Structure 1
Amino acid sequence: MSQQPLHILVVEDEPDQRSLISQMLTANNYLVSEADSVEQAILLLKESVPDLVFSDWKLGQLSGMDLLTYVRREHADLGFIIATAYGTITHAVDAMQAGADDYLSKPYQRQSLFMAIEKVAKSLKLKQHNKRLASELSQQQELVGLVGKAPCMQKVYTRVQRVSATDATVLIGGESGTGKELAARALYQLSPRRNKPFIAINCGAIPESLAESELFGAEKGAFTGATSQKIGKLEAANEGTIFLDEVAELPLLQQTKLLRFLQEGVISRLGQNSEIKLNVRVIAATHRDLKVEVEEGRFREDLFYRLNVVPIEMPPLRERQEDIGRLIEHFLKIHGGQYGLEAVNLSTTTMKALLDYPWPGNVRELSNRIERFVLLGDEDELVAELTQSPSVIDAKAFTLPETGFEWEEFEKDCLQQAMQRHDGNRTRAAKQLGLSYKAFLYRLEKYQLTD
C-alpha cells in the first residue's frame, strides 16, 4: 500500500445510512466514493479503482454478492467487506467463500467498521508486499535461468542455486556470448551479499602496466602519475562480490598476487608495506580452456585450482536449440520495453530462419539481432543477415594452380584469419579449420603465432 489515504468505495442503497458511513470514514482520513447500486458501483470501478469496497448485501435488484463476483473477476486484489443483515450467517459464509475479505453483521458498531477496514488494509499491504517479492523473484529467476529449459541449462540452474548462498569461489566457463556475466550476477543476486557491492572487471581490457593498481590499488607516489591514493577493485568489493571476467588474460605477476588473496584474504596496495584484510567473494570467468593454458605455462596451476572450486559451464546456444524460441520472445519483450515499443510478432518464415541458424555468437548475438529488429522492424533485413553466413569451401572443388603456390604461407594465413575471426578463441578457430585442438596448437607453434 502507498502512503496516500486509503480509498474506499461505499455501496449502500439507503441514502441516510450511506451518508453516515461516508462521514465517519472521511472524518478518519479515508478517501471515500459513494454508489447507491451495483450498477453505479461498476461504473465507478471502471473509472477509478479504489483500495477497498464496503458494500451492503441488499442493493435493489442486484446484491452485494453480484458486486463481489464482478470485483473478483475484474480486480482480484481489491479489498472487499460486505455487511449482512442480523441473523443471516449463511450470507456471511457465502460471501467469505466467494472471496470477501471480511464481513460485518448489522447493526455494527463504529469501532467494528474501523477494525474490519484496518484488518483488510493490512492484508492488502501484505498481499502487495508478497506480490512485489514474487515479481523480484521472477526477475531473479529470469536472471538465474537466463531464459531456457534445456537440460544443459537446468544443470546450470541447479549449480547456481546450490552455491549462491555460500562464499565458494566459482569459475564460469563457456564460449563468448553464452551469458557468463549473467550467471555471475545471478550468483550475486541470490546470495546474502546481494545488498553489498558487485564489482565486475574485464581482465583482458586492462593494460598490463596498470593491472596491479587496478586490482589491488596503489599508494600516492607508488608510480609515475600516482598523485593520490587509488582503491583497487578488490578493496572496492569488500563485503561483496568481485567478478573477474576473462581471468585467463591476467598477467602472471597479478596471478600470483590474486592467488595470495584467495589463500589468505589479504592484499597490499602497490607501494604499501602493510596488509589489508578483505572479505570478498570471487567469481571468475573465461572463454579459454584453463587446463590448456596451464599446460602451456600461461596460467598458474595453483591459481587454477583455487578458482575452480565450483566450475559452471555455460552451454553454447547450438546445444540448447529448444530454448531459441523462448529467448526470442524474451528479447522481444525486453528490448520492446527498453525502447518503449510494442512487441511485434515474427512471421513463421522468420522464426524458422532464426531457429535454423547456428548462432556462432550465442545468446549475445541473438539478443543483438532482436534488439536491432525491435528498433527497425525490418524482418527482411533480419532474415537476409542470417542467410549471408559464409559457406564452407568444398575441398574437392579446389584445383592446385599449374605454377604451384607457397603452402606454408597459405596455411599460416588461414590460421591467422581463423584466430582473428574468433577473437583469439583457439577452440572455435580450430573447429572452423576442421583441425583437432592439438593439431591446431602444433601449427600455431610452428608458425610462432602463440603470442
Structure 2
Amino acid sequence: MENVHILLVEDDTAQNELIAAMLGAEGFTVTATFSVEEAIVALKADNRISLIFSDWKLGQLSGLELLEFTRKNNFPVGIVIATAYGSIDHAALAIEKGADDYLAKPFQRQELLLALAKANKANQLRLTNQTLNNQLSQQDSMVDLIGSAPCMQKVFQRIEKVASTNATVLISGESGTGKELAARALHKVSPRKNSPFIAINCGAIPESIAEAELFGAKKGAFTGANQDKLGKFAAADGGTLFLDEVAELSPQLQTKLLRFLQEGVITPLGCHQEVALDVRVIAASHKQLLAQVEEGLFREDLYYRLNVVPIHMPALRERSEDIGKLIHYFKDKFSQQYGGSIEPLSAHTLKQLLSYPWPGNVRQLSNCIERYALLGDEDELLESLTHENGQLQQGDQYILPSEGIDWHQFERDILLQSLKRCENNKTAAAKLLGLSYKAFLYRLEKHQI
C-alpha cells in the first residue's frame, strides 16, 4: 500500500489532521480536503489518486453525493465511506451505490487500513478487467485476421500501435493475403471507428472517370455530369480511405493524392476552390512499390508519403501453422452462411491442405473450403489444388500461370523460403537454389533481406 495516493475528505479539522498523519505514517500520499466541492476539484486535478476515504456527513453535501459523482464519471478509484455509529442504512446505501467498503465511527487504525486495502484490491481488479475487456474488444475488431504465427503477431502489434494515430499506412503483400482485412481492422480499433471506412480498388476504376470517382466533380465538369458528384475522399471525411492497388493510379492522380497527403485538401473536377478534409489514408499494393519507383512508374515523393508506417501481410506459406485455424474458421463461417453442417475433413486431406503452398493465399483457401461446404466432395477439393493457378510442378517442369507472375516478388519469396527451410543457414540455402554463395548474397542484398 506504500505510495498509494489517497484523497481524504473530512470536515472536522482535528479528525482530518489525525487521519492524514496516520495514513502518511503508513506510506500513503495524502491529499486532504474538507468538503465534497474541494474533493471533486482535487479528483479532477490529479489522476494519480486511486483511493478515497470520505466521511458521510460533510456540511451541505454528503459522502454519498461524492460517491455518486465518482462512479457516474468513471473515476478509477476505490472508495471507503465512514458512517456514524449504528447507521446501518447509510452503510448499506453506500455499498449499493458503489462503495468498496464502509467503516462505522469510531474505528481503530487497523480497521481503517484493512478497509483501504480491500478497496485498493477491488479497484485493481476493476482496472484489470477493463484492460482485458479493451483487449477483447480489439481482438473482436480484428476477428477476420486469423493467426498465431509470429509474423501475424507482428502485424497485430503494429496495427494496435498505430491505430490511435493519423499516420498514413502502406500495406504490402501478395494478392489474397488479407490487406483489406488489415486496413478494416486498423480502422475498427482507431478513434475513427464510428466514421466511414471507404475502400476502393484503384486498378478497377476506368481511367476516364478515376479523377471524378476519387476527388469528386461539379455539375457540368464533363459530359454526363448532370449533378455534383461526391468523390471517395469526401465520402470518407472524418474516417478512413483505403486505396487498394495504389500502384495503378495514373501520374496525374498520383500528383493529386500527394497534394492531399501534404496539405489535406482536394480540388474536385470542374471546381476552382480547394476543399479541406479530415481523412486517414491507408494504401496497399501487391506490387513492390520501391521497384515501381526505380522503374519510374511511381512517384518517389508519394511513395515516402504513403510509406510512413509499413505493414507487410505475410503469404500463407510463410505461416503454415495458421492453416489449420483458418480451415476451422472458414468451416464455421460457411456452415452458418449456408445453414448446414460440414463433414470433418479426413486426415489425408488435412495433410494435403497443410503441406500445399497456397499461391492464392488466404483467399484461395477460403474459396476451397466454401466449395467443400457446398459440395462435400474431398476428391474435388484435392483435385482443385492440382489444377488451379497452374502453379504446381508437373514432372520437372514449372507451369507458368496464364496471367504471368510478379518476378520481383517471386524471387524474393523463393529466397525467404530457402532461408526458412535451411534455418537461416545461407550456405545451405544457396545450395538449395543452385546458386553460388556470392550470387545468393547479392540477391539477398537486392531484395533487402
Structure 1 residues 265-324: Cα deviation after superposition (integer angstroms, max 9, x where no partner): 000100101110000000000000001101111100000000000000000000000111
Deviation at residue 336 of structure 1 after TM alignment: 1.2
| Equivalent residue number for residue 67 of structure 1 | none
State how 1:302-451 maps to structure 2 within 5 Å.
302-388=301-387, 390=390, 391-392=392-393, 418=401, 420-422=403-405, 427-428=409-410
Taking the aligned partners of 2:292 and 2:355, their CA distance within structure 1 comes to 34
> Percent identity at matched positions?
57
Cα 1:262–1:320 change in 2 (3 A) is: same
Shift of residue 392, structure 1, vs aligned partner: 3.0
**Counterpart of 2:409 in structure 1: which amino acid?**
T
Residues 354 and 394 of structure 1, relative CA distance in 2, 3 Å threshold: closer
SS at match of 1:358: coil
Evaluate the alpha carbon distance shift between residue 135 and residue 156 of structure 1 in structure 2; reply closer, same or farther with a 3 A threshold. Answer: closer
Correspondence list, 1:62-73, <5 A: none
Verify the 8 A CA contact 1:140 1:190 in the aligned structure 2.
yes
- Matching of residues 199-210 of structure 1 within 5 Å: 199-210=198-209
SS of the equivalent of 2:200 reads strand
Does the 8 A contact of 2:288 with 2:408 survive in 1?
A: no
On the 8 A contact 1:419/1:429 being kept in 2, the answer is no
Query: 1:208 and 1:141, CA in 2 relative to 1: closer, same or farther beyond 3 A?
Result: closer
User: Which amino acid in 1 is paired with 2:273?
Assistant: S
One-letter amino acid of the counterpart of residue 230, structure 1: K
Aligned partners of 1:193 and 1:297: how far apart in 2? 35
The two structures, once aligned, show a CA RMSD in angstroms of 3.6
The corresponding residue for 2:72 is none
Question: Equivalents in 2 of 1:254, 1:263: separation in Å?
Answer: 14
- Say which SS state the counterpart of residue 225 (structure 1) adopts: coil
**In the alignment, does 2:129 pair up with 1:142?**
no
- Contact 1:290/1:304 (CA < 8 Å) preserved in 2? yes
Take 2:158 and 2:434, find their aligned partners in 1: how far apart are those partners? 33
Equivalents in 2 of 1:191, 1:208: separation in Å? 32
Structure 1 stretches lacking a partner, 5+ long: 1-110, 121-125, 399-413, 437-451
* 1:225-264 equivalence runs, <5 A: 225-264=224-263
1:52-78 Cα distance to aligned partner (Å, 9 max, x none): xxxxxxxxxxxxxxxxxxxxxxxxxxx
Letter in 2 for 1:427: Q
Alpha-carbon distance, 1:421 to partner: 4.1
Instruction: State the secondary structure of the residue aligned to 1:235.
Output: helix
- CA shift, 1:384, in A, is 2.3
Q: 1:119 to 1:425 in 2, by over 3 A?
A: farther
Q: Which runs of 5+ in 2 are unaligned?
A: 1-88, 99-125, 415-432, 436-449
Q: Helix, strand or coil for the counterpart of 1:142?
A: coil
Which aligned pairs between 1:6-25 and structure 2 lie closer than 5 A? none
Superposition TM-score, scaled by structure 2 size? 0.60
- In structure 1, what residue type is equivalent to 2:178? G
Partner Cα separation in structure 2 for residue 332 and residue 140 of structure 1: 20
Deviation per residue, 1:350-408 (Å, 9 max, x gap): 1111101110000010011111111211122112222446543666x99xxxxxxxxxx
Alignment of 1:262-277 (within 5 A): 262-277=261-276
Q: Distance in 2 between matches of 1:135 and 1:152?
A: 20
1:84-123 pair list within 5 angstroms = none
2:345 match: secondary structure: coil
CA distance in 1, matches of 2:407, 2:336: 34
> Would the aligned equivalents of 1:418 and 1:429 in 2 still touch at CA under 8 Å?
no
Q: Residue deviations 1:115-170, cap 9 Å, x none?
A: 9xx999xxxxx9xx999988754422423xx1111111111111111001111000
Give the TM-score of the pair, scaled to structure 1.
0.60
Aligned length: 301
Contact residue 203 and residue 245 of structure 2 kept, 8 A: yes
- Taking structure 1 as reference, are residues 195 and 360 closer, same or farther at Cα in structure 2, changes over 3 Å only? same
1:285 paired with 2:284, answer: yes
